[in-house]
A and B are shown apart, each in its own frame.
Chain A
């Protein structure tokens, strides 16, 4: 049988394509125009509109276009309409911060789609700096005589500062708070939200005695623990929580953290709910749902959930929402609440003109007026003290009561490295170590808090050292 030359060619082509499918040749890409300076004056000299992209991770509600995604899109549209020098294209990553980070890192390989402004979670600050691909915000602040961060809450700036360099610009800040059901409190004879862990345990019993199965629903979220550390003015990492020098060890195993974890274990042993901090909506918010189903009267969660909780409240006539600060060991705090949330970063891949445009856009997004708008209804709290008045005016009394709990916890109190939150490259690994320990803490055979924290701390230190050794 003769083999048709055509079939030989086609078969060879198929084979060649197979090899491309799995192992492709690495091509060298053209070097991108890298920005070396931040010169805001370049924008005034631009002869045509500068087009830039903004990659962000805000979630959006499908219903009526609500959600933080829609609110951010409105701000971007408003910026585009307000001037004729820059046009911003919004690139929303539906999968959240992880997707934005994954895409950004992949773009550094030269795939040609590095955004001009990018949103990262605060905890990615060190990793972003380690890529050496972002221009420090300090560079633009120093170059722009009109710009200042004096009216920002100091902690918000510190959260993005390593050494004396401000790497990113804070944009959204959220903190964990205590949510409680006022109706459950009234039914159980609880006069006011607990301010100490001992009161929390006592209130759990009262709630359980009045039909609230769990009494208290706890989320196995390391963020709650690190917030307690901030409230006690204790760093979770050495070297100033990673702010003064690169962190080389975890330091979260101490008498304070052990006391908090002992209280948490007691709550779970007494029949409280220990819900996962990850997963889909129904599992990641199981603690909040336990309030709506009258299984718990108290839980802790982020203020960023307040917007959607507010949307869902009309469905649950059995719930009258109350928001209070997290309880502490003594009812007082010598430190303050560290900020979570996200910030804005300028990639160095920009041209100088794109950097100038990116900086102009960042100044708009973080202006007092924009922050006031952004904080209204999103669950995020103002990062600027000069936004607070307009923000308060835009909220009704009930909403202000809720949001102000977080704003007060965030804006008042001590501002130092311990309360600025940690900066570390191995953040995700450390979170994993703490989650493993929290899983152990909340189930039989009930290992001691001290042993779990010691193991987690050792594992976290090993992860930090491993990360540092790979730089």
Chain B
């Protein structure tokens, strides 16, 4: 009886903590959406209003049309899409090599590759800018995406996923005459699908939220400016606080939709290996 009570108390405590954490994560998002529907008077009221009494939907139109967010969103979808495809493909190939192919200095190269994930982007930004300029890609879409087509984190994540595939499966494939190429696409990749999906989501999040690189790389080319740059130009004045919030809500919406659809894969990938 006592242990049952302890379990109940433990479970109640866990749920209380999770609820609190969910609130901490969700509240800022709620404020963005609620604030975007409020009048300026409601936004500035003390104590702050939590619910829009008379929702003003026109703020979204003002942000979208006035801020030309359609173009910024299109650029961001294109840029993020290419980065996701690039990172997933290069990560699969490199991770597979690290997991299944024997070659000299494999471990050293893997550690070196992993080390690239430890270097903050700000450290290499000047070198990247110079390289991109030397390639003649300044203020172009290539310059915006190519430096991000591969990621040490992605290779590490997928290598770990590939290593979890039972050895027996690999041996059976060899007996069946599968080449490495065939084994990778027909066996390893389908089995690592949750990790690949998680990598795709992380890649998209990273690409979508980039600010410094697009700021420096797009220069004067307004045609390749991304949504994060676009929303900074919306509102920016006391009288348009709700329009600024609407722009932020528009920018964050694709990420929320993505998370809803890929939530299962994300959780599965992150917990894979936690329980044997």
Contact = CB atoms under 8 A, between A and B. Distances in A.
A12 B93 CA distance: 9
14 contacts: A2-B180, A4-B181, A18-B150, A22-B116, A22-B117, A22-B152, A24-B127, A61-B237, A111-B133, A112-B133, A290-B46, A311-B238, A312-B239, A316-B41
Nearest to B94: A14
Contact of B180 (A1, A93, A103): A1
Residue picked from B138, B174, B216, B222, most chain A C-beta under 10 Å: B216
A26 B127 CA distance: 5
Interface string B141-159: 0000011111110010000
A89 interface: yes
B236 A113 contact: no
Nearest to B171: A1
Interface centre among B35, B44, B97 (most CB of A within 10 A): B44
Interface in A1-28: 1-4, 6-8, 10-15, 17-28
Contact of A19 (B116, B146, B183, B220): B116
Contacts of B243: 61-63
Contact of B184 (A7, A109, A308): A7
Interface in B203-257: 212, 215-217, 219-220, 222, 229-230, 232-241, 243-244, 247
Contacts of A111: 129-130, 132-133, 138, 216-217, 219
A110 interface: yes
Interface of B: 35, 39-41, 43-46, 62-63, 66-67, 89-91, 93-94, 96-97, 101, 109, 112-113, 116-117, 119, 124-134, 138-139, 146-152, 155, 170, 173-174, 178-181, 183-184, 212, 215-217, 219-220, 222, 229-230, 232-241, 243-244, 247
B133 A110 contact: yes
Contacts of B244: 62, 280-281
Given A11-B96, A23-B119, A103-B216, A65 B66 contact: yes
Contacts of A282: 35, 43-44, 241
Interface of A: 1-4, 6-8, 10-15, 17-29, 53, 55, 59-65, 67, 69, 89, 91-96, 99, 102-103, 106-107, 109-113, 115, 213, 280-282, 285, 288-290, 292-293, 295, 305, 307-309, 311-312, 315-316
Contact of A24 (B66, B147, B241): B147
A59 B237 contact: yes
B40 to A, nearest CB: 6
Given A21-B116, A281-B244, A94 B230 contact: yes
B179 A3 contact: yes
Contact of A285 (B181, B222, B238): B238
B131 A115 contact: no
B97 A15 contact: yes
B215 A99 contact: yes
